[in-house]
Structure 1
Amino acid sequence: MRLLIVEDEADLASALRTGLSHAGYAVDTAATGAEALAKFGVHAYDLVVLDLNLPDGDGLLLCRRIRSVSGVRILMLTARASLADRVRGLDHGADDYLVKPFALAELLARLRALLRRDGDTGEPVLRAGGLELDPASGEVSRGGVPITLTRKEFGVLRYLMSRPGRLIPAEELLEHVWDEFANPFTETVRVTVGTLRRKVSSPGGTPPIETVIGRGYRLVDR
């Protein structure tokens, strides 16, 4: 899942990028509303975490602009704590509202809840292709046997398992699992999927991840 963090406090933005990346998300950041709109116009984000106090305008207006063109989930993360502020935020199109200071664990729980609303993660625990993946704990297993994955492998598997049977182009995986610093001309998706396939395949069995040459990848839910 790919997130856009709109936050002008550099230290907090960096901490959020680190914490959310460790949780398996691909994270881009923007320090101003203009930068956020520019990135939003180029990339397909699954969720936006939005501060309201931005140097070039009020985040409420940015929220309304994003909402006017997209159904992307928006979580406001701000120091504005009054009931009136919360109501205004939700009325401007936010899906949730979290007041600073906050605990990372609560932020992660709210992100998971928002993403579940779109059906992107299906049930809290995904089961497909003989595999079981818990988005909350980051654990993956096959037949009760744990499988150790890198963050990118986990992100790819999570994306495929939430769309079993659907053919996913490499470009779509790159857009949703990698961040803005990924080089689109490298073989990173092919290499990651190849390593992932070996890890999740049972000995002597048919790999649950199929490659359709020239078109993409599919998780087969046998």
Structure 2
Amino acid sequence: MAADILVLKADPSAGIDLRQGLEAADYSVDLVVDKGVAAQLVGRHSYMAVLMDIPESGSTQRRTCAELRKRRRDVPILVLTQKGDERDEVEALDAGADDYLRTPCSREVLLARLRALTRRGTRSVDRLLRIGDLWLDPVHRRCGRGRRDITLTAREFAVLVQLARHPGKAVSKKVILDEVWDMTYRSNPAVVEWHICMLRRKIDAPFGVRSIETVRGFGYRLTTVDG
């Protein structure tokens, strides 16, 4: 039987401590130190989430996240790092991670972030959502325009679902924060702005459309209008 969580940790001894902390919270854990092995396991098993802690460059993180996504596009990825500046956080999110957590941190904070990621797949599912040629399949966590699939991170997909549930209507940043993020992030609307930016790059820019509108001082609206 597959484990609940895959931990990719460069430091084996620290990885053991992390695994023991997760197991104490009733998660089963696969611990690996090799990025290639991690990608193979992700391709074979339906993990609830991947915790990735590799103290390497942003380009290496991007390649690793890309390989994990190639094996299973919808797996939630939480990047752990001892680095503390905003640029590193942006690099981790840009690499395809769904969340970013600076360490050391308390076990309670780590578990709260993990619950926020994994509950994306446990909420009640919607039928297929369509807004013009844009479609979302919440059951299988797929998205596309027409016949072309679009690869989104789990967090990006969750944000888009919130907009797609109310086509043509403005959705506030607060509502998006409450629905998609845990308490740690709910006072930081900038995290919503970042994910909207990434969504525009993926679902709008390649197709020459502008379907995500900014409602100044409030939030965002998903429409079928282009131009």
Q: TM-score, normalised by structure 1?
A: 0.50
Which is greater in Rg?
A: 1
Q: TM-score, normalised by structure 2?
A: 0.49
